[in-house]
Structure 1
Amino acid sequence: MQQCAEGVRKPDVSLFETAAHRCGASLRNGGWMVGDNPIKDIIGGRTAGLSTMWVNHGAQPDPSTSAGSCRN
């Protein structure tokens, strides 16, 4: 899904709603947002009621929003 084609951009909740609808799902049922942008993906996903996982490519996280890390 291309954000600009939809007329909205993340972190706008309506983009998450549209994506869920196209997958035959609803945000009411929860779900996950996995992304690499702390604002657009993580805050946007949380605002939409989703659980989130941040893929960190070396950026420093905000300690007030960090829940730890997952490592292999």
Structure 2
Amino acid sequence: MRRTFTALSLISLAIAIIKLVIAGLQHDFWSLTPVIAYNAPQGIFGWSLTLALIFFIISRFFNKHSRS
């Protein structure tokens, strides 16, 4: 379970980084702002960063060596 949430976190972070690089290459960096406004994530960049953080926190709750 820990690996699943860690993988989801990495995928979400990769999406955010790809979106950031594409915006930088197109000289459209400011279109990513605001990342968080009115206490909610905005756009694909904000949502992917938020989900990456949430999935990372959830993955830390699971033990590395869980007993079945």
Same-fold call, TM cutoff 0.5: no
Higher relative contact order (CA 8 A, sep 6+): 2
